[in-house]
A and B are shown apart, each in its own frame.
Chain A
Amino acid sequence: MTKRFAFAAGLALALMSATASGADKLKVGFIYVGPIGDHGWTYQHDVGRLAIEEEFGDQVETVYVENIAEGPDAERAITRLARDGAGLIFTTSFGFMDPTIKVAERFPDVKFEHATGYKRADNVSTYSARFYEGRYVIGQIAARVSKSGVAGYIASFPIPEVVRGINAFMLGAQSINPDFKVKVVWVSTWFDPGKEADAAKVLIGQGADIITQHTDSTAPLQIAADLGVVGFGQASDMIAFAPDSQLTAIIDNWAPYYVARAKAALDGTWESVDVWDGMAPGMVEMAPYTNLPDDVVAMAKETEARITSGEFHPFSGPIYKQDGTMAIGEGEVLDDGTLLGMNWYVQGIDDKLPQ
């Protein structure tokens, strides 16, 4: 019996993460939806965490919890970080929105930063990146290099963030080839390499010769490489996984924002903000263009430059909704409110948007 007890105690100790807290240090907590080894979404957030450590050294201590499911589990994990003395907590997935708000009510002195959501409070900021700017660029590339004129799009959940990405991709593609087709498959998960791979196989089997994804693993790109088609990295540069098939990748560069927010918390100047940055301040970056003809690279770079300079907005009118009604007329651009709540497809997408 004692032996068993000793083992159980040992196991419990081993399972507990080291959470010794130093005095006067700012403890910065991170909640991740996937593993930091996904080399996609979560990996990039962790790059931001490491940037904070790099920048502030002994003044900060960072902790992270990975693989937290969106839902009740998240509330537990966030509460635990807050209770363990974290002064600033980044919750890095859309589904952590309500749990973040709930926990923030109970810990008014803790500052929260929620990624990609829209609910704020005095101690809850939201931040997101205008990934759609990158999506427009890869849509243009897709239309230029696809021979079948069909792209396969692996989507996670029908939230505005994802719908906006599909629309931006389609608008980019249509600017090159008005008849371009996008096949959308919803896999109802952010991270399941096997299922993402299955979706890629199915899409390629149905004639897509270019694959793009709004899920977190590298599997779809690798399947594309395996089956001899091309694709795009998602959230992070995935060139190592598909050196002959990645055309570019949309990189989420959170590090500058994370460092700035940690600094504000250290200085006592932290305020609840709503940040939505794109290519201009470098929150969205394109990975080097590879496996592409020079003229396509030139086109992509030009679009990138025009978006960065503010000369061009991917959601510039005229834009028609799927049902043929006009969303916005010539010479105007969709406002941020519409973009943030986007729950309709642009014309030309075959899929019916799940409600």
Chain B
Amino acid sequence: MTGLEAILMTIIAAATPLLLAAIGELVAERSGVLNLGVEGMMIMGAIGGFAAAYVSGSAMLGVAAAVGAGVGMSLLFAFLTQTLVSNQVATGLALTLFGLGLSGLIGEAFTGLPGVKLPPVHVPGLSDLPLVGPVLFGQDVIVYASVALTALVAWVLARTRIGLVIRATGGNHHSAHALGYNVIAVRYACIAFGGATAGLAGGYLSLAYTPQWIENMTAGRGWIALALVVFSTWAPRRVAVGAYLFGTVWIMGLYVQGVGIDIAPQLLASLPYLITIAALVALSGNRLLTKVNTPACLGQPFVPDR
């Protein structure tokens, strides 16, 4: 492996879980739901994916279980916030605490066990090319899924009727309701999508990034994803830029230390946050567009008139 190739591979690995968790949260937020439980859904995806892969021996089953665990957690959130109309912020925080605790409990039985590693895709011919082969054609399915899902979300939100309904629900739920859309159902679906991608992000951590179960292994990535969504002003493309920029600065911070360039590591550790926020704020310079993208009903409960 050449040096550049190793760096690119590590950057993609660092950015993928952030991108996945953020793109799902973006959809939930565009529908008007603020789910602060990303970290909790993610860690449940990590343990769900690890456990299923370990028991069955199949990494792909692990991926499916990770998604399932994320969706399960998100449906719990949806039931509480949409059906029982509980406070979204408090419920989201509780979901994170619940997920961290429950995953630790389940994970007790899986600590120290060898994980099942999700194998990289191999495209005959293409994967063997120098540099571009492994970087572009030798990733695992979750990495490709993260890119495909981002493109899909961008397209659906901007160009399709479904996207319009989601945005209407987030922009003004009373109007959407008056137009005959089932606001609660739309939000249930968007929350579940957010859970699916957060679970997948967690599965990526325990199946590909560091194929093992370690308690609390998400280590705050869910919160970074949440911040990415806000700072990208709810635009899918910017979320992707933010996630990859964060991953790049993060890895370069480690890399420059290894080659002996003299920058304070404390500064290097904070740079991913600073640069990503600065870049996204600069990118979001168009006030009008920001206002259009911001879901006006974000975090507000909706109770349909009887």
CB distance from B182 to the nearest CB of A (A): 22
Q: For the complex, give the distance between the alpha carbons of A152 and B85 in Å.
A: 52
What residues of chain A lie closer than 8 Å to B94, measured between beta carbons? 11, 15
Residues of A within 8 A of B209 (CB): 194, 197
Interface size class of B (residues with CB under 8 A): 35 or more
Are B257's CB and A185's CB within 8 A?
Answer: yes
What is the bound-complex CA distance between A184 and B262, given in angstroms? 12
In the bound complex, how far is the Cα of B250 from the Cα of A197, in angstroms?
A: 12
Whether A271 is near chain B, meaning CB under 8 Å from some CB there, is: no
| Interface residue tally on A, bucketed by range | 35 or more
- Does residue B179 face the partner (Cβ distance < 8 Å to A)? no
Residues of A within 8 A of B14 (CB): 194, 198
Instruction: Report whether B104 and A37 are in contact in the complex, using a CB–CB cutoff of 8 Å.
Output: yes
CB-nearest residue of chain B to A238: B112
Question: A189 — which chain B residues lie within 8 A by C-beta?
Answer: 219, 269
**Please, what's the 1-or-0 string for A241-252, where 1 marks a CB less than 8 Å from any CB in chain B?**
100000000000
The distance from the CB of A190 to the nearest CB of chain B, in whole angstroms, is 10
| Contact residue among A7, A35, A198, A355 (Cβ-Cβ distance under 8 Å from B104) | A35
Cβ B259 vs Cβ A35 within 8 A: no
Q: A206 to B251, Cβ gap below 8 A?
A: no
Tell me if A38 is interfacial: C-beta within 8 Å of chain B: yes
Residue of A nearest to B261 (CB): A352
| Known A189-B219, A189-B269; further 7 A-B contacts with Cβ < 8 A | A7-B86, A11-B94, A15-B94, A188-B265, A198-B254, A222-B210, A351-B260
Question: A-side interface residues toward B, CB under 8 Å?
Answer: 3-4, 7-8, 11, 15, 34-39, 67, 152, 158, 183-189, 191-195, 197-199, 201-203, 205-206, 217-219, 222-223, 226, 240-241, 350-352, 354-355
Q: Which B residues fall within an 8 A CB radius of A?
A: 1, 3, 6-7, 9-10, 13-14, 17, 80, 84-86, 90, 94, 97, 100, 104, 107-108, 111-114, 117, 205, 209-212, 214-217, 219-221, 250-251, 254-255, 257-260, 262, 264-266, 268-269
Nearest first, the 8 closest Cβ-Cβ pairs linking A and B are: A186-B265, A37-B215, A188-B269, A205-B6, A35-B215, A192-B219, A240-B112, A206-B258
Q: Can you show 20 pairs from A to B with CB atoms below 8 A apart?
A: A3-B84, A8-B86, A34-B216, A35-B216, A38-B215, A67-B100, A183-B258, A185-B258, A187-B265, A187-B269, A188-B266, A193-B210, A194-B219, A198-B10, A198-B13, A198-B251, A198-B254, A202-B254, A205-B1, A218-B214
